[in-house]
Amino acid sequence: MRFAVIGGDRRSAALAELLHADGHRVRTFALEQAALPPEIGRESCLQGCAYGADCVLLPCPAEKGGYLNTPFSEESLPMPRLLEGLWPGQMLLGGRFSEETLSAARMGKLLPADLLRRPEVAVGNAALTAEGALCRLMEHSARSLWRSRVLVLGWGRIGSILARRLQGLGALVSVAARGRRDRAMAEALGCRAFSYEELEHCLGDMDFIVNTVPARVLSEGMLCLIRPEALLLELASAPGGFDRELAQNIGLQVLIAPGLPGETASRSAAELLRKAVYAAMEEMEE
């Protein structure tokens, strides 16, 4: 098979290596600053990379603000222009495509599939994100997680896995969740559970606060209740769970770390994506 790997972070670079090791022909574009073996082709233009490819692989997430996600390149490529450079019939795989991109891809007779919507990727990515979050918390604080009071905002895939990992390290874990069922599950697993409206009563006690919710769940008033020694870790994409600039201006310690698997476990993340790529391609061919 012939693959075009376009844009992305360390996960994309590692995925290109894995596919090449499997015996496929791999060319890349907008990855010029990534460490890649010399056997993998680096193309200077989009069309040269995509020409003749059976499958075009975009990053996870594929786009930011309507542009291709290219942290390892100076390229600034609008998604419509990217799609214009591809050929009808090509498979287009990536993560978190916008509805506009999906619609335009189908109109261009491409075959798009969102890898992050596949359960094996979504769950595996959550586990890698939780592990990376633990690394960030331990790296950036003089406190141990053992016996520390940690608040996890959100009880989705990442939040629920992270809460269990924190418990395993001896942390005193609290969870904030909107749904009563989620709060009941958190309590059944040994966590304290709060609604977002109840957080004002516990924020001042926390040593670590980790947000997994891509929506503002901490108000400006709530931020003022957090102790300056506490560490806030933002895992969610924009707009995030709190006003980052305000939090920093009032003296809080803030870490911004969306897309953690690309930083802390790029090889494992790429292995997840490789399996998903093969599965998606097989389903399209049936």
* Shared-domain flag, residues 177 and 104: no
In this predicted structure, the answer to whether residue 280 has a pLDDT above a threshold of 90 is: yes
Identify the pLDDT of residue 237. 87
List the one residue out of 119, 101, 2 whose CA is nearest residue 59.
101
CATH number for the domain spanning 17: value is 3.40.50.720
The parent domain of residue 39 ranges over 2-117
* Shared-domain flag, residues 130 and 247: yes
Enumerate residues 6+ apart whose C-beta is below 8 A from 239.
Answer: 214, 215, 216
Would 270 be classed as within a structural domain?
Answer: no
The domain boundary residue, chosen from 62, 92, 117: 117
Would 177 be classed as within a structural domain?
Answer: yes
* Shared-domain flag, residues 68 and 128: no
* Shared-domain flag, residues 104 and 157: no
Identify the pLDDT of residue 238. 85
| Overall pTM surpassing 0.85 (yes/no) | yes
List the one residue out of 25, 1, 96, 266 whose CA is nearest residue 79.
96
Specify the pairing of strand 2-6 against strand 25-29: parallel
Would 268 be classed as within a structural domain?
Answer: no
Q: Are 240 and 234 in contact, with CB atoms under 8 Å apart?
A: yes
Q: What is the DSSP letter of 173?
A: E
Q: How many domains does the chain have?
A: 2
Per residue in 110-167, pLDDT (tens digit) is 999 999 999 999 999 999 999 999 999 999 999 999 999 999 999 999 999 999 999 9
Identify the pLDDT of residue 258. 84
* Tokens, residue 264: 């802390």
Residues present in the chain in total: 286
In this predicted structure, the answer to whether residue 286 has a pLDDT above a threshold of 90 is: no
Per residue in 191-213, pLDDT (tens digit) is 999 999 999 999 999 999 999 99
How confident is the prediction for the chain on average, in pLDDT? 96
Residue 153: phi and psi, rounded to 5, are -95, 115
* Shared-domain flag, residues 40 and 130: no
